[in-house]
């Protein structure tokens, strides 16, 4: 199994989310001014999150091989995850707080702020939706919950641990289906989208057992997955552009399953080495920086959008160019943040915690 293929998938996932948001940053101001914007629905761009989740489930099993049933396995696992996820997210959240204060907008109350920094679902927004103050962090609330469940099971042997986690996620989903929860934390933790982590865990078990698919089978998986995504059974164009996609079974079926099929096609290869070309190198580099891209792109796009309209470029250049520029600038910023902030800080924290960060684990560290 080539790690490069997983890195490229991470880059694709982050770019998908960025493209969707990039359109909003340009289109919404245009529409408020009475101008039209031709939204692209070629793919459901939000499905990049679902691809992130299945990759995360895969990574946790694949990279934790030596931690299962180990005496300090749970502690080491949690230390790795905290060192990898917390610093950049806290920095991004703090920047959002500073930006909000500078714009004289309402700041979060103490409970909302604390819950946001602790990855605890909280009814922060006006409509009561369980979202952190930096709304993009809703995915990290799911990630941290998954890590907690995984850490509780990692004391078992690998196959048993995976079975325990899958059973727990399945039971919580069933509870959410039969008895919808009003509590913000239970509402989030009983959503069906957590099953996408289980999909990735299943693919990792197959990979660890040496299961490999022939090229035609992998191509068929990708073809079917793309056909489902292109069809977009959630009918995204029928909803407002600010619509928050429900994290229910319909999303899991329409976006999560195709994501798992794409992951399986990438992970269950027969050892074919990806060609060493500019596409592969760029995909790997952006995959390494995909967590930074996910967190920083709204801030970069906000500045890029403001500059685009302030300079009057909206009247002289096609809107898709503005989206492309904002995605490119976000990608560049992510590469810089990863190189000079994220990677050194993570390595320093891991060294301080005496974490055995092997090269393979470092390459597979998640960036949801």
Model pLDDT for residues 69-113, shown as the tens digit of each residue = 999 999 999 999 999 999 999 999 999 999 999 999 999 889 999
Measured distance CA(31)–CA(16) in Å, rounded = 22
**Residue spans per domain, the chain:** 3-364
Tokens 């917390």 correspond to what residue? 86
Q: Could you tell me the CA-to-CA distances from 154 to 10, 42, 77, 354 in Å, in that order?
A: 25, 40, 9, 19
| Residue 125, pLDDT score | 56
Measured distance CA(42)–CA(55) in Å, rounded = 23
Model pLDDT for residues 299-346, shown as the tens digit of each residue = 999 999 999 999 999 888 999 999 999 999 999 999 999 999 999 998
| Residue 365, pLDDT score | 42
Measured distance CA(70)–CA(154) in Å, rounded = 8
| Residue 131, pLDDT score | 87
Model pLDDT for residues 211-253, shown as the tens digit of each residue = 999 999 999 999 999 999 999 999 999 888 778 889 999 999 9
CA 204, 205, 207, 208 dihedral sign is positive
Q: What is the residue-wise DSSP string for 259-310?
A: HHHHHHHHHS-SSPPPP-SHHHHHHHHHHHTHHHHHHHHHHHHHHHHHHHHH
Model pLDDT for residues 1-50, shown as the tens digit of each residue = 457 899 999 999 999 999 999 999 999 999 988 888 999 999 999 999 99
| Residue 355, pLDDT score | 46
Q: Could you tell me the CA-to-CA distances from 171 to 179, 213, 300 in Å, in that order?
A: 12, 31, 40
Model pLDDT for residues 122-176, shown as the tens digit of each residue = 986 555 568 899 999 999 999 999 999 999 999 999 999 999 999 999 999 999 9
The three-state secondary structure class of 41 is: coil
pLDDT above 50 for 292: yes
If one compares 224 and 352, the residue with the highest pLDDT of the two is: 224
| Residue 364, pLDDT score | 44
What pLDDT band is residue 278 in, cutting at 50, 70 and 90? confident
């Amino acid at each position: 199994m080539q790690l490069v293929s997983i890195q490229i998938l991470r880059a694709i996932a982050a770019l998908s989310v960025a493209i969707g948001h990039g359109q909003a940053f340009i289109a919404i101001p245009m529409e408020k001014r009475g101008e039209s914007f031709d939204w692209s629905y070629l793919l459901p761009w939000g499905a990049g999150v679902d691809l992130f989740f299945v990759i995360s489930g895969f990574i946790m099993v694949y990279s934790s091989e030596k931690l299962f049933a180990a005496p300090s396995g749970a502690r080491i696992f949690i230390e790795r995850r905290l060192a990898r996820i917390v610093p950049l997210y806290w920095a991004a959240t703090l920047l959002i707080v500073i930006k909000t204060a500078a714009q004289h907008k309402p700041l979060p109350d103490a409970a909302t702020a604390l819950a946001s920094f602790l990855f605890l679902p909280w009814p922060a927004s006006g409509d009561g939706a369980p979202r952190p103050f930096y709304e993009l962090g809703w995915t990290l609330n799911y990630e941290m919950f998954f890590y907690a469940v995984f850490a509780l099971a990692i004391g078992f042997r690998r196959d048993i641990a995976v079975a325990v986690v899958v059973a727990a996620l399945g039971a919580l989903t069933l509870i959410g289906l039969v008895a919808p929860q009003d509590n913000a934390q239970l509402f989030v933790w009983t959503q069906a989208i957590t099953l996408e982590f289980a999909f990735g865990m299943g693919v990792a078990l197959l990979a660890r057992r040496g299961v490999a698919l022939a090229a035609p089978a992998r191509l068929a998986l990708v073809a079917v997955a793309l056909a489902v995504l292109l069809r977009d059974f959630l009918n995204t164009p029928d909803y407002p552009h600010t619509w928050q996609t429900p994290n229910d079974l319909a999303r899991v079926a329409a976006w999560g399953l195709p994501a798992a099929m794409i992951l399986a096609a990438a992970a269950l290869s027969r050892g074919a080495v990806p060609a060493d070309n500019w596409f592969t190198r760029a995909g790997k580099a952006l995959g390494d920086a995909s967590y930074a891209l996910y967190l920083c792109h709204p801030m970069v796009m906000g500045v890029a959008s403001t500059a685009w309209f302030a300079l009057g470029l909206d009247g002289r250049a096609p809107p898709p160019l503005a989206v492309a520029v904002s995605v490119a600038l976000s990608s560049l910023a992510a590469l810089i943040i990863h190189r000079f902030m994220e990677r050194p800080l993570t390595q320093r924290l891991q060294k301080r915690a005496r974490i055995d960060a092997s090269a393979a684990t470092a390459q597979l560290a998640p960036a949801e």
